[in-house]
């Protein structure tokens, strides 16, 4: 660990402090592994909305979501069959898979990943 | 170089302190509307149906960074009560111990609270893949955190961001030296 690297890192954090023009709500995850190809808008998953209702452990422990943007290989068929988002979006715990637009609301062409204000994370993000 | 890091650290802490005096209400918080947040498609029919962040988050305890919500406080004071499990039989594990990390003399000590974490998370979210459950066995470093590893997997993505240095570097070395018994993973009620 060199002091130089650390100082660089600290400066990058400083840079991150200045707000950028377009920033999603902190913790929003965009899923676009298949959406663009499939001709639908990419999916926006809002952490802020879900964490008001569920603790992290519900999704990341009990339901088995990997804690890494892009690490879960989610297909639409999975959701309809009750896996991933479909474990709740099943017209029981939450509204169901037929409400396409509520999930597929992202800007076409955006890359998968976590978006949001003071983001610093992700391997290779810097 | 080391000095530069310290200066930056001091500046950031001073900045944070100036912005958020303890207990004082924050003057102004604002959230971008979904149509202008850069991630949602402004032409999506969902705009208008989806909840705007400001309409939910403005009611929760204020913060200056991240979601601009002090999530730990929101849970503590009951302004939110998120479910801990979907199935009633799911086992909920809590741990109430603090770990003090003071391997570096140059920065204030890090007090890692198991309690605040296990209220949200399960042990398995951190142990044994992210952290070995043995004090001092993890070689935690700021550079790796800033790269999104270790604490940085959550802090900087979903939990409060890394700009909040003093929220992790939260214990002046002087206070710690007076209570050496509390140093290493002692249980704190």
Residue A98 belongs to domain with CATH number:
3.90.10.10
Q: Do A58 and B85 touch (CB under 8 A)?
A: yes
Please report whether residue B167 resides in a domain: yes
Please say whether the beta carbons of B171 and B107 come within 8 A.
no
Please report whether residue A80 resides in a domain: yes
Q: pLDDT digit string (tens) for B146-156? A: 989 999 999 99
Please report whether residue B31 resides in a domain: no
Please report whether residue B53 resides in a domain: no
Residue B113, pLDDT above cutoff 60 = yes
Q: For chain B, say whether A58 makes contact (Cβ under 8 Å).
A: yes
Its domain, for residue B103, covers: 2-26+62-188
Q: Which residues in chain A have Cβ-Cβ distances shorter than 8 Å to B55?
A: none
Number of folded domains that form chain A:
1
B152 by Cβ neighbours in 10 Å (0-12 / 13-18 / 19+) ranks as: buried
Please report whether residue A107 resides in a domain: yes
| Minimal CA separation from B178 to chain A, in Å | 30
Q: Do B163 and A48 touch (CB under 8 A)?
A: no
Q: Which residues in chain A have Cβ-Cβ distances shorter than 8 Å to B148?
A: 120-123, 125
Q: Do A61 and B83 touch (CB under 8 A)?
A: no
Q: Do B162 and A118 touch (CB under 8 A)?
A: yes
Please report whether residue B107 resides in a domain: yes
pTM of the model: 0.91
Please report whether residue B183 resides in a domain: yes
Residues of chain B above pLDDT 70, percent? 79
What are the residues whose beta carbons fall under 8 Å from the beta carbon of A109, sequence distance 6 or more?
A36
Please report whether residue A46 resides in a domain: yes
Residue B8, pLDDT above cutoff 60 = no
Whichever domain contains B120, its CATH number is 3.90.10.10
Local confidence band at B105 (pLDDT 50, 70, 90 cut-offs): confident
If DSSP codes are grouped into helix, strand and coil, which group holds residue B175?
helix
Please report whether residue A98 resides in a domain: yes
Q: Do A105 and B125 touch (CB under 8 A)?
A: no
**Strand positions, DSSP E, chain B:** 98-101, 110-113
Please state the ipTM of this predicted complex: 0.82
Please report whether residue A45 resides in a domain: yes
Q: d(Cα B158, Cα B128) in Å, to the nearest integer?
A: 21
Q: pLDDT digit string (tens) for A16-62? A: 443 443 478 999 999 999 999 999 999 999 999 999 999 999 999 99
Q: Which residues in chain A have Cβ-Cβ distances shorter than 8 Å to B156?
A: 118-121
Please report whether residue A124 resides in a domain: no
> Which helix (H) or strand (E) element contains residue A90?
none
Please report whether residue A119 resides in a domain: no
- A45: tokens are 């998953």
Number of folded domains that form chain B:
1
Mean pLDDT of chain B: 84
Please report whether residue B15 resides in a domain: yes
The residue in chain B having the minimum alpha-carbon distance to the alpha carbon of residue A1 is B143
- A60: tokens are 């990341």
Q: d(Cα B57, Cα B93) in Å, to the nearest integer?
A: 28
Q: Which residues in chain A have Cβ-Cβ distances shorter than 8 Å to B41?
A: 41, 105-108
Q: d(Cα A88, Cα A90) in Å, to the nearest integer?
A: 5
Q: d(Cα B91, Cα B88) in Å, to the nearest integer?
A: 8
Please say whether the beta carbons of A126 and A23 come within 8 A.
no
Its domain, for residue A63, covers: 22-114
């Amino acid at each position: 660990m060199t002091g130089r690297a650390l100082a660089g890192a600290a400066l990058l954090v400083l840079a991150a402090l200045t707000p950028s023009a377009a920033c999603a709500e902190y913790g929003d995850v965009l899923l676009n592994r298949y959406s663009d190809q499939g001709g639908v808008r990419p999916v926006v998953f809002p952490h802020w909305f879900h964490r008001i209702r569920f603790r992290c452990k519900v999704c990341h422990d009990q339901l088995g979501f990997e804690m890494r943007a892009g690490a879960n290989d989610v297909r639409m068929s999975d959701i309809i069959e009750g896996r991933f988002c479909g474990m709740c979006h099943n017209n029981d715990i939450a509204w169901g898979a037929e409400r396409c637009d509520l999930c597929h609301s992202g800007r076409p062409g955006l890359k998968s990943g976590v978006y949001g204000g003071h983001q610093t994370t992700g391997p290779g993000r810097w | 170089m080391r000095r530069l890091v310290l200066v930056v650290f001091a500046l950031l802490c001073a900045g944070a302190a100036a912005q958020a005096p303890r207990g004082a209400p924050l003057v102004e918080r604002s959230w971008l509307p979904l149509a202008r947040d850069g991630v949602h498609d402004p032409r999506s029919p969902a705009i208008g149906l989806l909840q705007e962040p400001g309409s939910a988050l403005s009611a929760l305890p204020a913060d200056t960074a991240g979601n601009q919500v002090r999530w730990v406080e929101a849970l503590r004071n009951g302004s939110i009560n998120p479910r801990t499990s979907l199935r009633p039989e799911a086992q909920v594990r809590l741990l109430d111990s603090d770990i003090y990390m003071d391997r570096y003399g140059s920065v204030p000590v890090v007090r890692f609270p198991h309690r605040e974490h296990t209220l949200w998370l399960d042990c398995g979210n951190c142990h044994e893949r992210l952290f070995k459950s043995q004090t001092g066995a993890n070689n935690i470093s700021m550079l790796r955190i800033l790269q999104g590893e270790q604490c940085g997997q959550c802090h900087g993505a979903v939990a409060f961001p890394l700009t909040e240095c003093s929220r992790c570097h939260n214990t002046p070395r002087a206070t710690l030296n007076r209570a050496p018994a509390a140093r290493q993973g002692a249980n704190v009620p």
